[in-house]
Amino acid sequence: MEAARALGWPAGTVAARLARARTLLKKRLERRGVTLATALAAAAVADQAPAALMQTTIKAATLFAVGGAAAAGVLPASALVLTKGVLRAMFITRLKIATVVLLTLCTLAAGAGMAGWRARPAIPPDPDPQPGIQAARADEPPAEDLKQRVERLQRENERLNRELHDLRDKVTRLEHKVAPAREGGETVVYEGKPTAYWRRQLKDRSPKYRAAAVEALGAIAPVDRSVVPALVKALSDPGYAVSGTAVSALLALGEDGQHLVFYALRSGSPATRLHVVNALDHERLPPRLPVRVQIPALVRALADKDADVRAAAARALAGIRPIMPAVEVPALTGALNDPVVGVRLNAVQALQRFGSPEATPALLEALRNDNVEVRLAAVTALYSLPMMRPSVYTALVLATQDKSPGVREMARSTVLTHTVRASTPLARPTVARLAIIGLLKHDKNPAVRVAAARLVGSFPLTSETALALHQAAQDDSDPQVRKAAEEAYKHLTSQPKTDEGADTPAQRAPMRGGFGGGRAGRGGRRLGGPGSG
Amino acid sequence: MAARSMVAVLHYLRRLAGPPAGETTTDRQLLEQFARSHDEAAFAELVQRHAGLVWSVCRRTLTQAEDAEDAFQATFFVLARKAGRLRWETNVAAWLHAVALRTALKARTANARRQARERHVGEMRRPEANQAPAACEVKPVLDEEVQRLPWKYRAPVLLHYFEGKT
């Protein structure tokens, strides 16, 4: 209601326009990544204008209106400079508007003149004898009048043209006057050379000089944003050093610059995208660039149409040292199925770099990948994990049965290494034991089975360990394995028994082919498995 | 002179007697009055009405309080200077918002330039000044977007959201 009164509009109109404005504003703000609520909240935070400031402003403004320059001595100089600047800018804007208006008028006038001139031959040279028609034309101006009107319009047109010309001159003069104050007067200098020099250097044929120019413009950009478009253009420069420097310079500009880089990454040409991704590679980045800027950009590039871009992004991601945020895992997992092998391999490596538990499921997933190289990379990645978890053991034991000998070998050594690495036998997790038992039972390589048998021998005595060794000692195809199992079994049974509920291994011995012991996650009591019936 | 003071007195009386139709004199009337007689009271009323709007724009755009104060004053100086020279709408909120934003942005560029001159650019490779503009760059987004709205939408938005009118 208040608003309606203040504007002199009906309340309904105000409400409707307010609603429409809200929608418009919401849409446009969201396009810029701000929600209306946030923006309005930010607007509401601003505190009250200080009362003293209001008082001085009222007094000073009145003085200013009355005395203008005469009051200058009394008024605050900084505010006055600002006022004059704004007034001048408004004057120039008005001149420009006036120019446009005049141009329009001239065109209209010229058009009218032409129309009038064209209309002339349509009127018969001598008066029409018929009185009816004569009467009908009575209110039209006679030919002589029209002629005069055209002449008048033409004179007017000329005058307006002259005026327009003068005004244009005036605008140019004023702009010249303003320009030095805006740029020339306080030229930004980098290494003693003005911006204009560096802009010229940007056109040099040698990438070296272009890169230097980009670096200079990058240093100037925080002060003078007008060079930013040149930096954006340099993103597509064929020279890697040039585009790389441009990316660094833009990213150093804060959020604005980052948006520009991301935009290029989304919508640039394939070459530009590749350049940007390469530039985002860790080594070449400005030191203070947060990983939270770099990683999302690279992850986005993982989904690029262009295989080179994807591969470069995966490579860059694989090289990132700091721990990545967990949100990026799905994107990398997705990249595990990329048609390009390089992308897949680097994705695995990137996942490995994670070092955080979130990456492990993705790596285990990679163990089941169709591609041998990916599986191999995944096993390698798991090898360097600092701590083994039961699920990892299980997956690795399964991987020891992989089609590819390389993967099998790596999986075996990973399982063994990690078991040995665990500090004391008691600290070794039960599941690790089960995994080793699995190796002992199912591995095709006798050497592995021997190693596994020895390891099992060092485990605490339980029905499972004892049974597994007993079986191996009896049934293994390889004499060496049988021997090792035998020794391990003796060693084991000389220890005090820890698995309180289980029967003695001898009683269980007939249950051949009882398979389940090796599987991780099985409880000791369900040892018999399918053969126990 | 006598006639002029007479007018002022009449205006004063009219204001004292209270507005005839519901609320108050419109901004346009106040400006006309100020242009005619340089009536401080009329201008004071205008400042009272729109100080919040202008101040919030200045505050959002400029980080330093002193700069915001300069921009605030300058905005009203421009209003004072233009009082008799423009054809005004009933309400000047939209106009003031535009001028305030323009003034504040001008102050900001002037500041940046001054800083650039004070520190020689050549030495600073990655200026730490980066953060300040980036941080306050977010805030004027609303003002800029409001500026882009057509006048008929802008005016109600400003009155409703910025001046708290119902």
What amino acid is encoded at A522 in this protein?
R
Whether chain B has a CB inside 8 Å of the CB on A56: the answer is yes
Q: List the structure tokens of B41.
A: 């009271």
Cα A270-B134-A316 angle, rounded to 5 deg: 35
Task: Give pTM, 2 decimals.
Answer: 0.37
Cα torsion B77, B83, B84, B85: sign: positive
Q: How far is B10 from chain A (nearest CA, A)?
A: 20
Q: Which residues contact A389 (CB under 8 A, 6 or more apart)?
A: A357, A360
Q: Kindly provide the b/e burial profile for residues A202-215, where b requires at least 16 CB atoms within 10 angstroms of the residue's own CB.
A: beeeebebbbbbbb
Q: Which of B26, B76, B129 has its CB closest to that of A222?
A: B129
- Rounded to the nearest angstrom, the minimum Cα separation between B31 and chain A is 12
Q: How far is A73 from chain B, CA to nearest CA, in Å?
A: 15
- The reported pLDDT for the residue numbered A521 is 37
Neighbours of B109 (CB within 10 A): 14
Which residues in chain B are closer than 8 Å to A6, comparing Cβ atoms? 23, 26-27, 90-91, 93, 159, 165
- Test mutation, B37, B43, B142, chain A, max A CBs within 10 A: B142
State the maximum Cα–Cα separation within chain A, in Å, rounded to a whole number: 143
Region of residue A456 (left: phi > 0; alpha: psi -120 to 50; beta: else): alpha
What residues in A contact B130, CB-CB < 8 Å? 222, 252-254
Tokens of A264: 């290029």
Beta carbons of B43 and A58 less than 8 Å apart: yes
A-B CB pairs within 8 A amount to 218
- Cβ contacts of residue A431 below 8 Å, gap of 6+? A390, A393, A394, A520, A521
Does A119 lie at the interface with B, CB-CB under 8 angstroms?
A: no
Contact across the interface for B145 and A8, Cβ inside 8 Å: no
CB A150 within 8 Å of CB A116: yes
Nearest Cα of chain B lies from the Cα of A9 at a distance, in angstroms, of: 10
Q: What is the CA radius of gyration of chain A?
A: 42
In terms of residues, how long is chain A?
A: 533
Q: A39 and B142: CB-CB below 8 Å?
A: yes
Instruction: Kindly state whether A186 is in contact with chain B, defined as any CB-CB distance less than 8 angstroms.
Output: yes
CA distance A72 to A53: 18
Q: Give the per-residue SS3 of A424-483.
A: CHHHCCHHHHHHHHHHHHHCCCHHHHHHHHHHHHCCCECHHHHHHHHHHHHHCCCHHHHH
Partners of residue B134 in chain A, C-beta under 8 Å = 253-256
What are A433's two structure tokens? 């034991």
Note whether A108 contacts B: Cβ–Cβ < 8 A: no
Instruction: Tell me the shortest Cα–Cα distance from A53 to chain B, in angstroms.
Output: 7
Digit-by-digit pLDDT tens for chain A (533 residues) are: 678 877 888 888 888 888 888 888 888 888 877 777 777 776 665 567 788 888 888 888 887 777 655 555 566 777 778 888 888 888 777 777 777 777 777 777 776 666 655 555 444 444 444 444 444 444 555 667 888 888 888 888 888 888 887 887 777 777 666 555 544 445 677 777 788 888 888 888 888 888 889 888 888 888 777 888 888 888 888 877 788 788 888 887 777 777 788 888 877 788 888 888 877 775 555 555 556 667 777 777 877 888 888 888 877 777 665 555 555 666 777 777 777 777 777 777 777 665 556 677 777 878 887 777 778 878 877 776 665 666 677 777 778 777 888 788 778 777 777 666 654 444 455 656 677 777 787 777 787 788 888 878 777 777 777 888 888 888 888 888 888 888 888 887 876 655 444 434 443 333 333 333 333 333 333 333 333 33
Nearest CA-CA distance, residue B91 and chain A, Å: 6
Non-local (6+) Cβ contacts of B166 within 8 A are A1, A2, A3, B160
Does ipTM come in above 0.85?
no
Distance from CA of A15 to the nearest CA of B (A): 8
Is-contact B46 B27, C-beta < 8 A? yes
The residue type found at A389 is R
Q: B111 falls in which pLDDT band (50, 70, 90)?
A: confident
Residue A138 identity (one-letter amino acid)? A
DSSP string, A360-429: HHHHHHHHT-SSHHHHHHHHHHHHT-SS--HHHHHHHHHHTT-SSHHHHHHHHHHHHHHHHHSSSGGGS-
In chain B, what residues touch A14 (CB-CB under 8 Å)?
A: 156
Gap between the Cα atoms of B138 and A245, Å rounded: 26
A427 vs B: CB within 8 A:
no
Distance from CA of B113 to the nearest CA of A (A): 7
Per-residue model confidence (pLDDT) at position B129: 40
Long-range contacts: A421-427, Cβ < 8 Å, 24+? A422/A388, A425/A458, A425/A459, A425/A460, A426/A460
**Among the partner residues B73, B141, B149, nearest to A76 by beta-carbon distance:** B73
Choose the closest CB to A6 out of B60, B90, B102.
B90
Compute CA A129 distance to the chain's CA centroid, rounded to the nearest angstrom. 83
Q: Is A35 on the interface with B (CB under 8 A)?
A: no
Nearest Cα residue to B126 out of A286, A326, A168: A286
Amino acid letter, residue A151:
E
Judging by beta carbons within 10 Å of its beta carbon (0-12, 13-18, 19+), is residue A271 exposed, middle or buried?
middle
Q: Are the C-beta atoms of residues B93 and B159 closer than 8 Å to each other?
A: yes
The answer to whether the CB of A49 falls within 8 A of the CB of B51 is yes
Closest residue to B141, CB basis, from A6, A29, A61: A29
The partner residues of A194 in beta bridges, in order of sequence, read A189
Best B38, B77, B97, B111 residue to mutate vs chain A (most A CBs within 10 Å):
B77
- d(CA B90, CA A47) in angstroms, rounded, equals 26
Interface contact B156-A60, CB threshold 8 A: no
Longest distance between any two alpha carbons in chain B, whole Å? 66
Indicate which of A58, A93, A248 best probes the interface with B, i.e. most B CBs within 10 Å of its own CB. Answer: A58
Question: Cβ of B59 and A46 within 8 Å?
Answer: yes
Are residues A353 and A321 in contact, defined by beta-carbon separation less than 8 angstroms?
Answer: yes
Task: List chain B residues with CB under 8 Å of A75.
Answer: 77
B77 or A520: which leads in pLDDT: B77
Q: Does A28 touch chain B (CB under 8 A)?
A: yes
Phi/psi at A504 (5° precision): -70, 150
Phi and psi (nearest 5°) for A461? -75, 120
Contacting residues of B for A253, CB less than 8 Å apart: 130, 134
How does A431-450 read in b/e, with b if 16+ C-beta sit within 10 Å?
bbbbbbbbbbbbbebbebbb
Distance from CA of A8 to the nearest CA of B (A): 7
- Taking only the tens place, the pLDDT of each residue in B115-153 is 776 655 444 444 444 433 333 445 667 788 888 888 788
Q: Calculate ∠ Cα A102-A104-A106, nearest 5°.
A: 70
CA-wise closest residue to B72 among A60, A92, A90: A60
Task: Show the tokens assigned to A26.
Answer: 């919401």
In sequence order, the β-bridge partners of residue A193 are A190
